[in-house]
Structure 1
Amino acid sequence: MTSTSVPTTKPPGKAGRNLPLAIGVGVGLGGLVLASLLIVPWGWVALVVPALLLGVWELSRGFAAGRFRVPLTPVMVGTVAMLVGAYLGGPTTLMLAFGATLLGIVLWRSVAGIDGAARDITAGVFVAAYAPFLAAFSCLMLGNPDGSRRVIVFILVTVCSDIGGYAVGVLAGKHPMAPSVSPKKSWEGFAGSAATCLLAGAISVPMLLDGSVWAGVALGLSCVVLGTLGDLTESMLKRDLGIKDMGHFLPGHGGLMDRIDSLLVSAPGAWWLLMILVPVAA
């Protein structure tokens, strides 16, 4: 995600994308997410399962550009098992599903022969851990009585981090954060991310979850740090694989994985902090 962008000399490049189109798609996605969380308790799972299957497919195509063959079938099956299992059975079921997925990757790829097996198994394990396993922590949040509100707060805080970082980075970004990995991410943009993220957490946690302001600040701090690491991780991965975007599914944004990278890496920390600092409401 382009949360901390350094401006370029050309006006189109300053935003780094077709901004009106990107905003329209973003608003549509936000409406879809809210509908999935508010209409029925399991709506989020029904949305996130096909989304992560698409994300796994995008990652497998990205790795194929680097001559890695992800064992797609066991990762796809494991994606469904981890996400549904986390919602229905909690952390224990998630870990069992994750372990079974890793075993399935090894067995599936071993049948195809040993040539390149270690390389492909490593890619498969990375994809399973990076996409469905991390996303499953949102399903763990959802399993609580106030789970829909917990997921809303988590997404709101992380998205506010992206918006604040993007806006400040475009307007005032001058000092690149990691030029060899993502030249458009700036320290000024990171400061914008931090400000909006902490503010969103301090407001949303007390308002939606009856938690303390300090719990919201802690959530905001976790999301801005982990979300930025998620951005940089995906940028580094794409640079290493020699690709610009993971896909083209979302006009104005790129692929789905280009849009949810910070959400994925932020999810475990958000789940843990909310579990520790904010009592579950009936």
Structure 2
Amino acid sequence: MTAGNGSGPGRRPRSRPGIRAQVDQRRNELQGQVRAAVEHFEETQERINARTGRNLLFAVGIGLLLGAVLILSLVLVKELFMLLAGTMIAFAVVELAGALRLSGRDVPRVASVLAAAAMLPASYFFPGLGQWVGIIGAVLFVSAWRLVEAVAGRGSRSADDLRRDLGAGAFIQLYVTLLGSYAVVLTAEDGGQWWTLGFIIVVVATDVGAYASGVAFGKHPMAPRISPKKTWEGFAGSVLAALIAGVLVAVLMLDQHWTFGLLFGAVLAVTATAGDLAESMIKRDLEIKDISSWLPGHGGFLDRLDSILPSAAAAYALFLLVG
């Protein structure tokens, strides 16, 4: 028996010394590629965040979560949507009341939330009369609360400050609660849940179109004094996305002709953009970036509702037009 190469029984064959070096080299190359990809992704995220002022990942995650809850509430039980809308509007009312306090306006937050909480069920169960009686009652309730506070010695009692406080309280109810109630009134109609879901889809498409087109092509500011990052290129993208979404929603969801879808998309593109600019104007007057920071990547609830609020009223008007 020869013992020349050491490969006899019970002995493992010797590995060539170059195999381990090759494995280590490949592993190092793979790790380097992964690090480079991560660094490239982070750099891209930083550029997008710097241009849009939003954390894209957080924004997408929160948006998907809100969208899932919205769809479930509309498809399963319509009353659940009233609770969802009431919760979001209540948070938006608190946010705006708190922001207005920064400018010296004393708006009673508890009264404002109670007024909104009573207004929405009245709008849902008693459409029309309940909505308008509810909003008048909401404004009077908030105003009376503030007057009682002034008589009790809380806050300023000067006539000028009181007038401004009462105006701010009424503004919150008219801007947030009344406009938001149109989504509730629309949902209460026969088949209205599909109209509500449809107009929100178009509004979301408008926002996405504006975001993508603005990031990719935005050069010419649309309203630099109000919203410096909003561009005409972004607005063009939002209109195109709204028209496409409007036609699809009209034909596939609302059983309407495609020409109505064009009208649906065009109107909502305008109202969504106007709502976004209106909230930007409020924030610019108050010298704040976001109404709040409760929704990571989005700011606050009002930052998510700004496009939806006027669009809800427009969608209800279009529903009545073809209904």
Tell me the secondary structure at the aligned position of residue 295 of structure 2. coil
TM value normalised by structure 1? 0.92
Q: Which has the higher contact order (CA 8 A, sep 6+)?
A: 1
Percent of aligned positions that are identical: 37
Q: How far apart, CA to CA, are the structure 1 residues paired with 2:245 and 2:114? A: 36
- Residue of structure 2 in register with 1:119 after alignment: 164
Aligned-CA RMSD value: 1.3
Residue equivalent to 1:226: 271
Partner amino acid, structure 1, of 2:101: A
**Equivalent residues in 2 for 1:91-240, closer than 5 Å:** 91-113=128-150, 114-115=157-158, 116-240=161-285
Match of 1:265 in 2: 310
Task: Tell me the equivalent position of 1:36.
Answer: 73
Which whole-Å CA distance do the structure 2 matches of 1:218 and 1:246 have between them? 32
Look up the match of 1:90.
127
Counterpart for residue 53 of structure 2: 16
Please give the residue correspondences for 1:37-52 in structure 2 after superposition, counting only pairs within 5 Å.
37-52=74-89
CA deviation vs aligned residue, 1:15-59 (integer Å, no higher than 9, x gap): 432112211111111111101111112110011111111110000
Q: How much has 1:79 moved relative to structure 2?
A: 0.6
Counterparts of 1:268 and 1:44, CA distance in 2: 17
Confirm or deny: 8 A CA contact 1:177 1:186 kept in the other structure: yes
Tell me how far apart the structure 2 counterparts of residues 24 and 99 of structure 1 sit (CA, whole Å).
Answer: 38
Structure 2 distance, partners of 1:73, 1:13, is 36
Structure 2 unmatched ranges of 5 or more: 1-45, 151-156
Cα distance between partner residues in 2 of 1:175 and 1:104: 45
1:248 Cα deviation after fit: 0.8
Cα-to-partner distance string for 1:58-107 (whole Å, 9 max, x where unaligned): 00111011111112233222211221111111021000000111111222
Residue number in structure 1 paired with 2:111: 74
Contact 1:219–1:274 (Cα < 8 Å) also in 2:
no
The answer on whether the counterparts of 2:195 and 2:315 sit within 8 Å (CA) in structure 1 is no
Aligned partner of 1:248 among 293, 298, 301: 293
Q: Is the 8 A contact 1:71 1:121 kept in 2?
A: no
Deviation string for 1:106-135 (max 9, x for gaps)? 222122333221011111011001111101
Rounded Cα–Cα distance in structure 1 between residues aligned with 2:190 and 2:138: 28
**CA–CA distance in structure 2, aligned partners of residues 75 and 90 of structure 1:** 21
Q: Secondary structure at the match of 1:177?
A: strand
Q: Answer with 1 or 2: which has the greater Rg.
A: 2
TM-score, normalization by structure 2: 0.81
CA distance in 2, matches of 1:107, 1:37: 35
Distance 2:148 2:48 in 1: 52
Code of the aligned partner of 1:98: I
Structure 1 outlier segments of 4+, above 6 Å: none
